Amino acid sequence: MSSTTAEGLPDEFVQRFRQLVAERLARAESLWFSLLQGTGHDAEAAELLRVVHTLKGDAGVIGLTDVHLVCHELEELLDVAKDVAWAVPDDLDLLVTMSFHFIGLLARRPAGAPVAGIDLAGFVQEVDQAVRATRALERFAGTSPRGSLAAAPEDASLDQESRLARAATLAFLEHLGARGASRERLHQLWKLLRQEVAQSSSTPLQRLVERHVGATKELGEQLGKLVDVEVEVRGLSVTRRVADALDVGLLHGIRNAIDHGLEPPHERTGAGKPPRGRIRVTAAIEGDVVEMVVEDDGRGFDHAAIVQRALDNGLVGDTERDAERGEARFDVHELVFRSGFSTAHRAGRISGRGVGLDAARAALGKVGGQVTARARDGGGARIVMRVPALVHHMQVYVFEVRPGIPVAIPATWVVTVSPEPEGAEAPGVRRPFVIDPLEALGIAAQLEHVEHVEHVLMLRRGLLHVHFGASSLPRLATAQRICPTTASDPMEVVMVQGREVLVLRPEQLAEAALLDGWRSPSRAT
Amino acid sequence: MPIDFPPIKSKIFQASASDAGTLATLRLMGTADASVHVHVQQAVTVMREQARALQVSEVAVDMRELEFMNSSCFKCFITWLSDLLEQPAEQRYRIRFLSDPSKHWQHRSLRALSCFAVDLVTIEA
Three-class secondary structure assignment of A471-509:
CCCCEEEEEEECCCCCCCCCEEEEEECCEEEEEECHHHH
Q: What is the pLDDT of residues B98-112, one digit of tens each?
A: 998 777 778 778 888
Q: What is the pLDDT of residues A268-304, one digit of tens each?
A: 999 899 999 999 999 988 777 889 999 999 988 877 7
Which of A122, A222, A366 has its CB closest to that of B125? A366
In our burial notation (b when 16+ CB lie closer than 10 A, e otherwise), range A18-46 reads eeebeebbeebbebbebbbeeebeeebbe
Mutate to test the interface with A, among B115, B116, B121, B123 (most CBs of A within 10 A): B115
Which of A93, A156, A160 has its CB closest to that of B68? A156
How far out from the chain centre does Cα A280 lie? 25
Which of A98, A104, A251 has its CB closest to that of B112? A98
> Between chain A and chain B, how many beta carbons pairs sit less than 8 Å apart?
125
Beta-bridge partners for A237: A204
Interface confidence: ipTM more than 0.90: no
> Which of 3.30.870.10, 3.30.565.10, 3.10.310.30, 3.40.50.150 would CATH assign to domain A223-388?
3.30.565.10
Q: What is the pLDDT of residues A245-265, one digit of tens each?
A: 888 888 888 888 888 888 999
Which of A91, A346, A359 has its CB closest to that of B57? A346
What is this structure's pTM? 0.47
Contacts of B75 in chain A (CB under 8 A): 94, 97
Contact: B116, A91; criterion CB under 8 Å: no
Q: CATH 3.30.565.10 residue ranges in chain A?
A: 223-388
**Alpha-carbon torsion A157, A160, A162, A163, what sign?**
positive
CA distance to A74, A207, A242, per residue, from A118 (Å): 17, 13, 22
Task: Give residue A149's pLDDT.
Answer: 35
Closest C-alpha to A262, from A296, A218, A294: A296
Q: Between residues A513 and A358, which one has the greater pLDDT? A: A358
E runs forming strands in A365-444: 370-375, 381-388, 393-402, 405-410, 414-419, 434-435
Lowest mean pLDDT among A132-136, A506-510, B70-74: A132-136
How far apart are alpha carbons A124 and A116 in whole angstroms? 17
H or E stretch at B83: helix B71-85
Interface of B with A in 98-117 (CB under 8 A): 101-105, 107-109, 111-117
Which of A90, A105, A160 has its CB closest to that of B71? A90
Whether A13 contacts A58, CB under 8 Å:
no
Interface of B with A in 14-73 (CB under 8 A): 21-23, 57-58, 67-68, 70-71
pLDDT band at B11 (very low <50, low <70, confident <90, very high): confident
Is the pLDDT reported for residue B33 higher than 80? yes
E runs forming strands in A76-119: none
Contact: A212, B70; criterion CB under 8 Å: no
Is the pLDDT reported for residue A220 higher than 90? no
Task: Give residue A208's pLDDT.
Answer: 80
Contact: B22, A101; criterion CB under 8 Å: no
Distance from the Cα of A360 to chain B's closest Cα (Å) equals 9
Is the pLDDT reported for residue A390 higher than 80? no
Fold observed for domain B8-124? Transcription Regulator spoIIAA (3.30.750)
H or E stretch at A360: helix A357-366
Q: CATH 1.20.120.160 residue ranges in chain A?
A: 11-203
> Which of 3.90.850.10, 3.90.420.10, 1.20.120.160, 3.40.50.1980 would CATH assign to domain A11-203?
1.20.120.160
How far apart are alpha carbons A321 and A323 in whole angstroms? 5
Amino acid, res. A252? H
Mutate to test the interface with A, among B22, B94, B108 (most CBs of A within 10 A): B108
